[in-house]
Chains A and B, each alone.
Chain A
C-alpha cells in the first residue's frame, strides 16, 4: 500500500471503536441518560473479549463476551440512576472507576498473553478499486459493522416509530409517560444498548486492534467518545466524521515518527494530541451555546420518576 492508503487504513481502524462506542452513547443520551461510565464499560469489554477469545480461540465469542460485559456494567448504572434515581454524573464516574479497576484486577493474569491476529474480511471487487479500495474494503469485519450500525441508527432514530418514541422520552419523559409509554423501560433499553456498544468497542481494541491486554489500554477513548457525541451535537453523521478525525489524530503520531522526515518530537507530545484535540473541539462547539442547546436532548441527565 502507498502512504496515503496506509494512513487512510489506519485512520479507519482507529476511528472504528470510537464510532461504535459513541453511537451507543448517542442512543442512551437521546433517551435522556448521560452515562459517563463509557471508559469503564470499554475496559470491561476489552478484558472480557480478550479472555474469552484466548480461552475459546474464537474472536467472535470474544466480541460477544465484550458486549455482554459492557451491557452488564451499564445495567448496574441503570439500576442506580433509573430505579434508585442516583445522580447520573456521579454514578457514571463511579462506573468508570469501577470498570477500570475491575478490569485491571481480572486482567492481571492475562498481561503476558498475545492473541493471534485476526485476518481482514475482503470484499470482492470493491477491494480492487485503486487507492481507496484496500483501506475501505479489505478491513476487519467490525469496521463494516460500524457502518451498518451507523445506517441502522440513522434509520431507527429518524425513520422508525420506536426511534421517535425514544427521542420523545429524551425530550420530555413526563409527556411520553402521560401518553402511555414506559419511559423508564425505554431508558433502560437505551442504556443497555449503550453499554453493549461500549463493550464491543472495548473488545475491538483488545481482540483486533492491539491484540493484547494491558491495564489502562482504553486510555481515555471512552471519554473521547462521550466528547464526540457533544461535538457531533447528537447527530449520527457527525459522530462518524468526528470519529475518523480523531482516528486520524491518533495515527498521526505513528506516521510522523515512522516517516523519516527528520522530525524529532518527543513521542509524548504526539500522544497528547488526541486529548488536546478533544479539548479544542469541545471549545469550538460550546462557543455556540445555541447549537448545543437546540440539539441536546432536553431531559439529558435529569432523573425521571413517574408519580403514579
Chain B
C-alpha cells in the first residue's frame, strides 16, 4: 500500500513545486467542472483563461484587478510570517475606502488639487489601520483570538458602508440609489496607459511589494517575525516582543488593505457603493499562501487570482455561468495547495502491507 514517509529534511524543491502542482490540479478541476456543467471543457478553458488576456486592454484589466490583491496580500503576508492571522482584510479594505471617500466628498466642488489625492491615500491607510487596530489591541491586551475578531469586523464594516451609502454619503441627486456622488477628477487616480483603466495604484502596489521585500529579508524586525513564525519559543527566549509583532502584522495588513480600498474608490469605481469590495480581502489570503508569503510570489499569484476574477466575468457573459465560479476556483486552488504541501515534509513510498 501507499505510505507517507517523513523526509529527513524539508524539500526546498517541493516547497516551490507545490503551488504549481496546486495550479495544475485546479486547472484539471476546472476542466472537470466545465464538463460536469455540460460545457465544452476546451471552450470553457479558452473563455476562462485565454480570452481575458488576448489583447492589451485585457492585460491592463488584469493588472488593474491584481492591484488591490497585491496590496492586501503583501500586508497580510507580513503578519502571516509571524503567525498573526489577520483574516479581516476585507473589512479593513472597506473602512479604508470609506475614509478615502469621506475625503473625496469633503472636497467635492472645491478648488481641487493634488492635496485631495494625497489626503485620500493617507485617510485610506489610516482607516484600514484603525479597523485592524481593534483586533491588535484586543489580542495584545486581552489575548482575544484575532482570527474571529478581525472576521467579525468584516461584517460590521459591510454594515457600516451600507448605512453610509444609504444615509450620510448617499448621492443627493442619485434617485435614492445606495451609492455616493461620482468623485471629481481631482479625487481620481491618474491613468497610467491611455485608453485603459490601469491607474497609478499599480505602481503603489509594486512599491509596496518592494518595501515588503526589504522589510522581510533585510530588516531586523522582519527577521524577528520570521523567527517567531517558525519557533515561537525561540523568539520569546531571544527576547523578541510578541506584542510588537502582533501590532506590526496587523498594522501592515490594515494599512495596505485600506490603501487597496482607496485605490478602488479612486480608481475603477470612482465613487463608493455598498459593493466596494469584491472579496479581494479574502482572495488576498489565498494569494499570500500560494505565494509562500514571498513578495515576488505575491506579484505572480495576484495576477493568477486576477485572471480567475476576469475569467469568471467572461464565463458569466459567454458561458452563462454565475460569476461566483471564480470563488470556486479560488477555494479549489487553496485547498489543493494545502493538500500538496504534504510533499514538502513527506514522500510517498510503496510498502508491503504488514500483517
**A contact residues vs B (CB 8 Å cutoff):** 36, 40, 76, 79-80, 84-87, 89-91, 93-95, 97-102, 104-105, 108, 215, 219-220, 223-224, 226-227, 230, 266, 268-269, 271-272, 275-276, 278-279, 282-283, 286-287, 289, 305, 307
Q: Which 4 A-B pairs have the closest CB atoms?
A: A101-B327, A98-B331, A104-B324, A268-B163
Q: Least Cβ distance of B98 to chain A in Å? A: 13
Dominant SS among interface residues on chain A = helix
Kindly identify, within residues 312 to 355 of chain B, every residue whose CB is under 8 Å from any CB belonging to chain A: 321-322, 324-328, 330-332, 334-335, 338-342, 345-346
Across the interface, do B152 and A97 meet the contact criterion of CB distance under 8 Å? no
Tell which of A40, A79, A97, A215 has the most Cβ of chain B within 10 Å: A97
Chain B residue nearest to A79 (CB atoms) is B339
Across the interface, do A97 and B334 meet the contact criterion of CB distance under 8 Å? yes
Across the interface, do A283 and B142 meet the contact criterion of CB distance under 8 Å? yes
Across the interface, do B327 and A102 meet the contact criterion of CB distance under 8 Å? yes
Across the interface, do B149 and A279 meet the contact criterion of CB distance under 8 Å? yes
Interface size on B, residues (CB 8 A): 47
Residues of chain A within 8 A (CB-CB) of B144 are: 279, 282-283, 286
- Can you list 12 A-B pairs with a CB-CB distance of less than 8 A? A40-B331, A84-B338, A86-B342, A89-B147, A90-B338, A97-B330, A105-B321, A108-B322, A223-B148, A268-B160, A275-B156, A282-B149
Residues of chain A within 8 A (CB-CB) of B142 are: 283, 286-287
Across the interface, do B151 and A80 meet the contact criterion of CB distance under 8 Å? no
Beyond A97-B330, A104-B324, A105-B322, is A279–B138 a contact (Cβ under 8 Å)?
yes
Across the interface, do B339 and A80 meet the contact criterion of CB distance under 8 Å? yes
Q: Least Cβ distance of A139 to chain B in Å? A: 28
Q: Contacting chain A: which of B59-67, B104-112, B208-216, B281-289?
A: B281-289
Beyond A80-B338, A94-B334, A97-B334, is A271–B159 a contact (Cβ under 8 Å)?
yes
Taken residue by residue from 253 to 287, chain B's Cβ proximity to chain A (1 for < 8 Å, 0 otherwise) reads as: 00000000000000000000000000000100110
CA distance A76 to B336 in the complex (A): 10
CA distance A99 to B282 in the complex (A): 13
- One of B87, B163, B327, B338 near A86 (C-beta < 8 A): B338
Cβ-based interface call for B155 (8 A): yes
Across the interface, do A90 and B289 meet the contact criterion of CB distance under 8 Å? yes
Residues of chain A within 8 A (CB-CB) of B339 are: 79-80, 84, 86
**B contact residues vs A (CB 8 Å cutoff):** 4, 6, 85, 87, 134, 138, 142-145, 147-149, 151-153, 155-156, 159-160, 162-163, 166-167, 282, 285-286, 289, 321-322, 324-328, 330-332, 334-335, 338-342, 345-346
Q: Least Cβ distance of A100 to chain B in Å? A: 7
Q: Least Cβ distance of B99 to chain A in Å? A: 18
Tell which of B162, B330, B335, B345 has the most Cβ of chain A within 10 Å: B335
**CB < 8 Å A-B pair total:** 136
Chain A residue nearest to B341 (CB atoms) is A86
- One of B134, B162, B332 near A268 (C-beta < 8 A): B162
Chain B residue nearest to A267 (CB atoms) is B163
CA distance A40 to B335 in the complex (A): 13
Residues of chain A within 8 A (CB-CB) of B332 are: 98
Residues of chain B within 8 A (CB-CB) of A289 are: 143
Residues of chain A within 8 A (CB-CB) of B4 are: 305
Tell which of A76, A94, A282 has the most Cβ of chain B within 10 Å: A94
Q: Least Cβ distance of B122 to chain A in Å? A: 26
Residues of chain B within 8 A (CB-CB) of A98 are: 327-328, 330-332, 334-335
Q: Least Cβ distance of A225 to chain B in Å? A: 11
Q: Least Cβ distance of B298 to chain A in Å? A: 16
Given contacts A230-B148, A279-B138, 7 further A-B contacts (CB under 8 A): A80-B335, A95-B335, A98-B332, A100-B327, A104-B322, A227-B145, A282-B149
Chain B residue nearest to A98 (CB atoms) is B331
Q: Least Cβ distance of B133 to chain A in Å? A: 13
Residues of chain B within 8 A (CB-CB) of A87 are: 338, 341
CA distance A276 to B156 in the complex (A): 8
CA distance A155 to B285 in the complex (A): 40
- One of B148, B153, B327 near A97 (C-beta < 8 A): B327
- One of B159, B334, B342 near A85 (C-beta < 8 A): B342
Residues of chain A within 8 A (CB-CB) of B143 are: 286-287, 289
Across the interface, do A101 and B326 meet the contact criterion of CB distance under 8 Å? yes
CA distance A146 to B261 in the complex (A): 42
CA distance A287 to B143 in the complex (A): 7
Beyond A80-B335, A93-B285, A268-B163, is A275–B155 a contact (Cβ under 8 Å)?
yes
- One of A97, A266, A275, A282 near B145 (C-beta < 8 A): A282
